[in-house]
Chains A and B, each alone.
Chain A
Amino acid sequence: MLIIKDLHANVEGKEILRGINLTINAGEVHAIMGPNGSGKSTLANVLAGNTNYEVTKGEVTFFGKNLLEMSADVRAKEGLFLSFQYPVEIPGVSMINFLKTAVNESRKYHQLKELSAGDFLKVMREKKEMVQIDSQLTNRSVNEGFSGGEKKKNEIFQMAMLEPKLAILDETDSGLDIDALRIVANGVNLLKRPENATIVVTHYQRLLDYIVPDFVHVLYKGQIVKSAGKELVLELEEKGYDWIKKELGE
Chain B
Amino acid sequence: MDNQNTLINEVTDRDYRFGFVTDIETDSIPKGLSEEVVRIISAKKDEPEFMLEFRLKAYRKWLTMKMPDWAQLKIPEIDYQDIIYYAAPRQQAKYESLDEVDPELLSTFAKLGIPLEEQKMLAGVAVDAVMDSVSVKTTFKENLAELGIIFCSFSEAVKHHPDLVQKYLGMVVPPNDNFYAALNCAVFSDGSFVYIPKGVRCPMELSTYFRINAKNTGQFERTLIIADNDSYVSYLEGCTAPMRDENQLHAAVVEIIALDRAEVKYSTVQNWYPGNKEGIGGIYNFVTKRGLCKGESSKIYWNQVETGSAITWKYPSCILAGDNSVAEFNSVALTNNYQQADTGTKMIHLGKNTKSTIVSKGISAGHSSNSYRGLVRVAAKAENARNYSQCDSLLLGEHCGAHTFPYIEVGNQNSIVEHEATTSKIGEDQIFYCNQRGISTQDAIGMIVNGYAREVINKLPMEFAVEAQKLLQISLEGSVG
Q: Which residues of A contact B (CB under 8 A)?
A: 48-52, 71-73, 75-77, 81-82, 84, 87-88, 90-93, 97-99, 101-102, 105-106, 109, 141-142, 158, 162
Query: What per-residue 1/0 map shows which CB atoms of B451-474 lie under 8 Å from chain A?
Result: 111110000000000000000000
Interface residues on B, range: 20 to 34
Given contact pairs A76-B435, A88-B429, A88-B433, A105 touches B440 in the complex (Cβ within 8 A): yes
Check B438 against A52 for contact (C-beta < 8 Å). no
Smallest beta-carbon distance A186→chain B, Å = 23
Smallest beta-carbon distance B449→chain A, Å = 9
Check A90 against B430 for contact (C-beta < 8 Å). yes
Choose from A49, A87, A102, A141 the contact partner of B451 (Cβ within 8 Å): A141
Smallest beta-carbon distance B439→chain A, Å = 6
Given contact pairs A48-B436, A73-B441, A105-B440, A90 touches B3 in the complex (Cβ within 8 A): no
Q: Does B447 contact A (CB under 8 A)?
A: yes
Given contact pairs A52-B428, A90-B430, A90-B433, A73 touches B438 in the complex (Cβ within 8 A): yes
In the bound assembly, the distance between CA atoms of A92 and B435 in angstroms comes to: 18
In the bound assembly, the distance between CA atoms of A98 and B433 in angstroms comes to: 11
Check B428 against A71 for contact (C-beta < 8 Å). no
In the bound assembly, the distance between CA atoms of A73 and B432 in angstroms comes to: 8
Chain B residues with Cβ under 8 A from A88's Cβ?
A: 427, 429-430, 433
Check B438 against A82 for contact (C-beta < 8 Å). no
Closest to B443 in A: A101
Chain A residues with Cβ under 8 A from B452's Cβ?
A: 91-92
Q: Does B21 contact A (CB under 8 A)?
A: no
Smallest beta-carbon distance B10→chain A, Å = 13
Chain A residues with Cβ under 8 A from B429's Cβ?
A: 88
Chain A residues with Cβ under 8 A from B437's Cβ?
A: 76, 98-99, 102, 158, 162
Chain B residues with Cβ under 8 A from A97's Cβ?
A: 447
Check B438 against A76 for contact (C-beta < 8 Å). yes
Chain A residues with Cβ under 8 A from B441's Cβ?
A: 71, 73
In the bound assembly, the distance between CA atoms of A90 and B436 in angstroms comes to: 14
Q: Does B78 contact A (CB under 8 A)?
A: no
Check B3 against A82 for contact (C-beta < 8 Å). no
Chain B residues with Cβ under 8 A from A84's Cβ?
A: 433, 436
Smallest beta-carbon distance A85→chain B, Å = 12
Check A52 against B3 for contact (C-beta < 8 Å). yes
Smallest beta-carbon distance A119→chain B, Å = 18
Closest to B432 in A: A50
In the bound assembly, the distance between CA atoms of A43 and B303 in angstroms comes to: 47
Closest to B437 in A: A102
Choose from B3, B427, B447 the contact partner of A98 (Cβ within 8 Å): B447
Chain B residues with Cβ under 8 A from A87's Cβ?
A: 433
Chain A residues with Cβ under 8 A from B453's Cβ?
A: 92
Smallest beta-carbon distance A97→chain B, Å = 8
Check A102 against B439 for contact (C-beta < 8 Å). yes
Q: Which residues of B contact A (CB under 8 A)?
A: 1, 3-4, 7, 427-430, 432-441, 443, 447-448, 450-455
Check A90 against B451 for contact (C-beta < 8 Å). yes
Choose from A72, A73, A75, A93 the contact partner of B447 (Cβ within 8 Å): A93
Given contact pairs A90-B448, A92-B450, A93-B450, A105 touches B443 in the complex (Cβ within 8 A): yes
* 13 new A-B contacts at CB < 8 Å, known A76-B437, A90-B430, A93-B454: A48-B436, A71-B441, A76-B436, A90-B433, A90-B434, A90-B451, A92-B451, A98-B437, A102-B439, A105-B438, A105-B443, A109-B438, A141-B451
Smallest beta-carbon distance B426→chain A, Å = 10
Chain A residues with Cβ under 8 A from B443's Cβ?
A: 101, 105
Given contact pairs A90-B433, A91-B452, A162 touches B438 in the complex (Cβ within 8 A): yes
Choose from A51, A75, A105 the contact partner of B439 (Cβ within 8 Å): A105
Check A92 against B454 for contact (C-beta < 8 Å). yes
In the bound assembly, the distance between CA atoms of A100 and B390 in angstroms comes to: 31
Chain B residues with Cβ under 8 A from A90's Cβ?
A: 430, 433-434, 447-448, 451
Interface core residue of A73, A91, A93, A101 (most chain B CB under 10 Å): A73
Chain A residues with Cβ under 8 A from B435's Cβ?
A: 49, 71-73, 76
In the bound assembly, the distance between CA atoms of A92 and B452 in angstroms comes to: 6
Smallest beta-carbon distance A125→chain B, Å = 19
In the bound assembly, the distance between CA atoms of A50 and B437 in angstroms comes to: 12
Smallest beta-carbon distance B391→chain A, Å = 16
In the bound assembly, the distance between CA atoms of A103 and B253 in angstroms comes to: 46
Closest to B3 in A: A51
In the bound assembly, the distance between CA atoms of A101 and B438 in angstroms comes to: 9
In the bound assembly, the distance between CA atoms of A224 and B173 in angstroms comes to: 74
In the bound assembly, the distance between CA atoms of A195 and B447 in angstroms comes to: 33
Chain A residues with Cβ under 8 A from B434's Cβ?
A: 73, 90, 98, 102
In the bound assembly, the distance between CA atoms of A99 and B447 in angstroms comes to: 12
CB pairs A–B below 8 angstroms (14 shown): A48-B432, A50-B432, A73-B438, A84-B436, A88-B427, A88-B429, A90-B434, A92-B454, A93-B448, A93-B454, A102-B434, A142-B433, A158-B437, A162-B438
In the bound assembly, the distance between CA atoms of A73 and B448 in angstroms comes to: 16
Given contact pairs A72-B432, A92-B454, A101 touches B439 in the complex (Cβ within 8 A): yes
Chain B residues with Cβ under 8 A from A142's Cβ?
A: 433
Chain B residues with Cβ under 8 A from A50's Cβ?
A: 432
Closest to B451 in A: A92
Chain B residues with Cβ under 8 A from A81's Cβ?
A: 436
Smallest beta-carbon distance A60→chain B, Å = 16
In the bound assembly, the distance between CA atoms of A48 and B433 in angstroms comes to: 10
In the bound assembly, the distance between CA atoms of A81 and B1 in angstroms comes to: 23
